[in-house]
Structure 1
Amino acid sequence: MSKRHLYLLAVAIIAVALSAMYYKWDKLKFPLHADEQVQVWTVQAHVEYHPKRGPNTVTLQLPATTPGFTVLDERYIARDYSKLEEKSSEGREVQWAIRRALGEQDLYYRATIVRADAYEQVGLDFEPVLAELPSLEEPYLTAAHTLLEAVRARSSNIVTFARQLVIRLNGGDGDSDEVALLAEKYGKDEVARAEFIVRLLAIRNIPARVVHGIRLGDAATASEARMQAWIIVNDGQAWYMLDPRTGAEGMPSDLFLWSASAKPLLDIEGGPPATLAFNVSVNLADAMATAERRLEVHDANLVRYSLLSLPLQAQQTYRILLMVPIGAFIMLILRNLVGVKTYGTFMPVLIALAFRETALVAGVVLFVLVVGFGLLVRFYLERLRLLLVPRLTAILILVVLLMCGVSVFSNRLGIEVGLSVALFPMVIMAMTIERMSVAWDERGAGTAIREGIGTLIVAALAYVVMSWPPLEHLVFVFPETLLVLFALALLLGRYSGYRLNELLRFRALAREPDPITPPPPAPDTAAVDAPPPGTDAGTPGVRG
């Protein structure tokens, strides 16, 4: 397989993993931090009435379509009442019934809501039906048509027509005789004025309806909320929301739509005196629990086929198990890139898991004690010339006895951490003793001790990383993170360069050699032995 193919495979795996993580974080709102919190509202409806003699039936409209918000939980509090919840194309309602009631009655409906995500946004999807035409006699009928004609002249489409009508009826363009006359039909009540506007729009064949909602606001404590009426208008393609008090277009970000039904919010059979009050409180909740509950409301399969559906005990087990690849990747870096020598490939990771129960310092001390005593006995067993399997069995028995002894001794000293030594992998401890003794015999004490120290270093570093709570939360909530490590492991699998310790070991070879100085020239013996000019070569020192 070519390197290009490997690189493309690694990049594709990383892209898939990061895309899945981004989707879960941005769309499903899975938190990146374990202690992250989100804002949650509790909206309560309180019905108080004096019952009549005999059976009583109370009907309350409930939230159904809630753009911008998601209802996480609902509670009905009505003692001795039967509860019947019904759904229709216009919304939901709950019907409480009782055969006999005495004294003042209190009924409650409570909803826990949170802001919806972009993919959860629910649009207004109602059948565009014309409202009932207003029953107007003269001169009100003429005033209505005159007002509608004046509004039409100042509008360009259905939405602007409805906005201008709201503004005119609110006196936005100055008082007029038509507006003053029509005001006698609805008085000063906001709900009555909104319903009258909807009926006037029906004269021009414009579908509209009145909906009710609560402005949640930013209150940090429980406070009484006021139910407000709003108008939605259909232009043949979509619904548009208008504020009947100002004519402003658009839905406020803090508006919780309660009901879009044409029925009254509260209906009590017989019409006894009753009040309907709303309260809103806001608090902070765990982001992970909120995201899980949100998924259960919208698509339970996203939770059923995930780690979140497992029992709590199994979830805790997988929180630890998912950290094993993290420790293995750290060991991969230290062995293949740094060059740290260890006993075995995954033995340091298993020892790091044991450190989670004993803490780092105590775990290292217990590890050294057990392995040290085990080595002493192992060297003695070497003289008995036992076979491999009986020798390993004897060492395993010794390790168990050593664990028991350390636990009892630490318990007498009041050191509770010593009791966790029994959680060490017994087989791993026995194999560590055996491998250290073999390395001691074959490659010397220095090599055995270095590899033992390397094993402890890798195990300690893996423990520090594997026990980091933010990383543990990230890997459990986003197990796709392990795919990134998988791709990096594939890339490191083709690395065949120098390790860090080799660069230090052979650093002398990397230095530039010193330039060689040429030796001085040899003296000219012929010139030295030649006689001076003017002398006889045959008789030294005699002039001819």
Structure 2
Amino acid sequence: MSKRHLYLLAFSIIAIACAAMYYKWSVLKFPLQPDAQVQVWTVQAHVEYQPRAAANAVTLQIPSYTPGFAVLDERFIARGYSKLESSSPEGREVQWANRRVVGEQDLYYRATIVRSQEQEQALLDFDPVIPSPPELEEPYVTAADSLLLQVREGSINNVTYARELLRRLGEATPSEEVALLSERYGADESDRAYFAVQLLARRSIPARVIHGLQLTDEPREGEGRLQPWLMVHDGLAWTIIDPRTFAEGLPSDLFLWSSSDRRVLQMESEAAASLMFSVSRNLADAMAIAERRLEVQDANLVRYSLLSLPLQAQETYRVLLMVPIGAFIMLLLRNLVGVKTYGTFMPVLIALAFRETALVAGVTLFVLVVGFGLLVRFYLERLRLLLVPRLTAILILVVLLMAAVSVLSNRLGLEVGLSVALFPMVIMAMTIERMSVAWDERGAGTAIREGVGTLIVAALAYLVMSWRPLEHLVFVYPETLLVLFAFALLLGRYSGYRLNELFRFRALARDPDPITPPPSPADATDTASSGKA
């Protein structure tokens, strides 16, 4: 297989892995840091009313389309009331009903909200229906027609017509027509917006009122205010206008509460009711919020991922996913640097044991166990035992030594020594055996160098594998291992010098001393003549 094919395969794997990681980070909002936090808002709607009859029904419009935000959780609090949720193309609503109510009543709706990049365009897909014009009598008919005629002179299309109408209705010093009409529609912002829709209907302009809360990034808590916005259809699409600033477009900090043409709060009885909002902003764990957001948007993305596993299994995979990281570090140190070790994956297993004992204590325990095992191994060599019985004897002694160290550490009050039992016993026994064989065949220097190399690789692998940001990154983005896989493929064809070989053979890289050429015959004759002279 040619190198070009290998390079193409490796770079394709890297591109796929990076694309998957970017999608998780930019779209699914998976955090890159383990302690990352995101802003979360808790919005509460409080309905308070004094019933005038025994049976009462309360209807509240609740969020449905929330462009720029995602509703993670909802709570309905209404003691003694039945609850009925219903959805329509225009939005959602909840109806509370109770046959017997006495005294002041309090009903609550609470939602947990987080920012989202998804912009739902379904909000602007309403049919441009023209509502029924208001039934006005004189002198309101004349005032409305006069006002609409003045608005027409200052506009060029439906959008500018609606903006000019809102501007005139909201003037601090209103005209005579607006002052007269204000007696009909009232001075409230919401009432003024609904009356603007009715006036636009007299000119066959489709319009409707939506309500929302502005959620700022400032860490404040208190009462919120539900504000109206006006939607006007220009013949092609809907345009949103702010009745206060007359700006077009949906603000980025606006949480759309209701897009229905109905009132936000409706009472079947004639009881006087009030609707109050409170908003609190908090910081929450970004990973938990990302999981909850996925459950709301697409539960399958969570069901078929590591996040769906039980917590105990997740903790296990947090460790297992770090094993390839340690193996890649060992690959770099062996193939590029030239560090000699005992075995291929033995340093990685020792590094896993260091996660329980910490680095210094783990190295100390490793040296003690291996040193004592070597002494026993040299003694067993005199008995001329076969390989399998000798390994079994060494394993038994290693286990007894671990138990002795644990008991002694417990008596001394050292918790570090209790973790020695987590060392892989078979690996320890094989390390002792391989180190003793290397001692006999290649000398003590080679055996000690390979033992030191094993500890160096294990220590470096432990430092990297225990780095919490990297552990979080590999668990949340397992595609990272595909990048290591691609680099392992590329390094698999490397057959050049290692760093330690460049150091060992540095003398060959120096320029040799120039060799003096022998003298020519003419030079030899001149030299002899000058000697005779």
Closer, same or farther: CA 305–526 of 1 in aligned 2, 3 Å: closer
Structure-1 separation of matches of 2:58 and 2:206: 30
Q: Deviations over 1:264-283 (max 9, x none)?
A: 22233322233221100111
1:195, CA displacement in angstroms? Answer: 0.9
Query: Hey, what does 2:225 align to over in structure 1?
Result: 226
Query: Hey, what does 1:411 align to over in structure 2?
Result: 410
Query: Hey, what does 1:540 align to over in structure 2?
Result: none
Matches within 5 A, 1:168-247: 168-171=168-171, 175-247=174-246
Structure-2 separation of matches of 1:344 and 1:309: 36
For the 8 Å contact 1:66–1:122, the answer to whether it is kept is no
Structure-2 separation of matches of 1:71 and 1:239: 24
For the 8 Å contact 2:353–2:422, the answer to whether it is kept is yes
For the 8 Å contact 2:67–2:119, the answer to whether it is kept is no
RMSD after superposition: 2.2
Residues 66-75 or 218-227, more deviating: 218-227
Structure-2 separation of matches of 1:106 and 1:408: 64
SS at 2:509 equivalent: coil
SS at 2:489 equivalent: helix
Query: Hey, what does 2:62 align to over in structure 1?
Result: 62
The answer to whether 1:80 aligns with 2:119 is: no
The answer to whether 1:390 aligns with 2:389 is: yes
Query: Hey, what does 1:38 align to over in structure 2?
Result: 38
1:216, CA displacement in angstroms? Answer: 2.3
1:337, CA displacement in angstroms? Answer: 0.3
Structure-1 separation of matches of 2:530 and 2:193: 130
1:121, CA displacement in angstroms? Answer: 7.1
Structure 1: gaps spanning 5 or more residues? 533-544
Query: Hey, what does 1:498 align to over in structure 2?
Result: 497
Structure-2 separation of matches of 1:246 and 1:372: 81
Query: Hey, what does 1:335 align to over in structure 2?
Result: 334
1:136, CA displacement in angstroms? Answer: 1.9
Query: Hey, what does 2:20 align to over in structure 1?
Result: 20
SS at 1:54 equivalent: coil
Matches within 5 A, 1:85-124: 85-118=85-118, 123-124=123-124
Closer, same or farther: CA 524–217 of 1 in aligned 2, 3 Å: closer
Closer, same or farther: CA 183–81 of 1 in aligned 2, 3 Å: closer
Matches within 5 A, 1:332-481: 332-481=331-480
SS at 1:39 equivalent: strand
The answer to whether 1:135 aligns with 2:138 is: no
Structure-2 separation of matches of 1:481 and 1:366: 33
Question: 1:160 corresponds to which letter in structure 2?
Answer: T
Residues 452-461 or 9-18, more deviating: 9-18
For the 8 Å contact 1:46–1:276, the answer to whether it is kept is yes
Query: Hey, what does 2:512 align to over in structure 1?
Result: 513
For the 8 Å contact 1:27–1:119, the answer to whether it is kept is no
Closer, same or farther: CA 61–123 of 1 in aligned 2, 3 Å: closer
Residues 461-470 or 51-60, more deviating: 51-60
1:151, CA displacement in angstroms? Answer: 2.7
Structure-1 separation of matches of 2:530 and 2:117: 104
Query: Hey, what does 2:51 align to over in structure 1?
Result: 51
Residues 60-69 or 487-496, more deviating: 60-69
Closer, same or farther: CA 528–259 of 1 in aligned 2, 3 Å: closer
1:13, CA displacement in angstroms? Answer: 1.1
1:141, CA displacement in angstroms? Answer: 2.7
Question: 1:452 corresponds to which letter in structure 2?
Answer: G
Closer, same or farther: CA 153–272 of 1 in aligned 2, 3 Å: closer
Structure-2 separation of matches of 1:288 and 1:144: 55
Question: 2:5 corresponds to which letter in structure 1?
Answer: H
SS at 2:219 equivalent: coil
Structure-1 separation of matches of 2:483 and 2:428: 32
For the 8 Å contact 1:67–1:124, the answer to whether it is kept is no
For the 8 Å contact 2:54–2:102, the answer to whether it is kept is no
Query: Hey, what does 2:485 align to over in structure 1?
Result: 486
1:529, CA displacement in angstroms? Answer: 10
Residues 107-116 or 52-61, more deviating: 52-61
Count how many residue pairs are aligned between Structure 1 and Structure 2: 530
For the 8 Å contact 1:69–1:116, the answer to whether it is kept is yes
Q: Deviations over 1:505-537 (max 9, x none)?
A: 00000000122345788798976997x9xxxxx
For the 8 Å contact 1:219–1:281, the answer to whether it is kept is no
Closer, same or farther: CA 146–275 of 1 in aligned 2, 3 Å: closer
1:350, CA displacement in angstroms? Answer: 0.7
**Percent of aligned positions that are identical:** 76
Structure-2 separation of matches of 1:26 and 1:344: 41
1:100, CA displacement in angstroms? Answer: 2.9
Residues 507-516 or 123-132, more deviating: 123-132
1:254, CA displacement in angstroms? Answer: 1.8
Query: Hey, what does 1:150 align to over in structure 2?
Result: 150
Residues 520-529 or 370-379, more deviating: 520-529
1:328, CA displacement in angstroms? Answer: 0.6
Residues 269-278 or 207-216, more deviating: 269-278
Structure-1 separation of matches of 2:51 and 2:397: 80
For the 8 Å contact 1:166–1:246, the answer to whether it is kept is no
1:315, CA displacement in angstroms? Answer: 0.9
Structure 2: gaps spanning 5 or more residues? none
1:78, CA displacement in angstroms? Answer: 2.0
Structure-1 separation of matches of 2:382 and 2:273: 96
Query: Hey, what does 1:539 align to over in structure 2?
Result: none
For the 8 Å contact 1:67–1:122, the answer to whether it is kept is no
For the 8 Å contact 2:143–2:177, the answer to whether it is kept is yes
Structure-2 separation of matches of 1:225 and 1:57: 25
Structure-2 separation of matches of 1:354 and 1:525: 79
Structure-1 separation of matches of 2:190 and 2:119: 33
| Rg larger for | 1
For the 8 Å contact 1:399–1:430, the answer to whether it is kept is yes
Structure-1 separation of matches of 2:529 and 2:127: 125
Closer, same or farther: CA 80–187 of 1 in aligned 2, 3 Å: closer
SS at 2:508 equivalent: coil
SS at 2:73 equivalent: strand
SS at 1:509 equivalent: helix
TM-score with structure 2 setting the length? 0.94
Structure-1 separation of matches of 2:221 and 2:112: 13
SS at 1:508 equivalent: helix
Structure-2 separation of matches of 1:10 and 1:103: 73
SS at 2:507 equivalent: coil
1:352, CA displacement in angstroms? Answer: 0.4
SS at 1:280 equivalent: strand
1:482, CA displacement in angstroms? Answer: 0.9
Residues 347-356 or 217-226, more deviating: 217-226
Structure-2 separation of matches of 1:148 and 1:52: 41
Closer, same or farther: CA 437–3 of 1 in aligned 2, 3 Å: same
TM-score with structure 1 setting the length? 0.92
Residues 180-189 or 193-202, more deviating: 180-189
Question: 2:64 corresponds to which letter in structure 1?
Answer: A
Q: Deviations over 1:178-204 (max 9, x none)?
A: 334433321312222111111111222
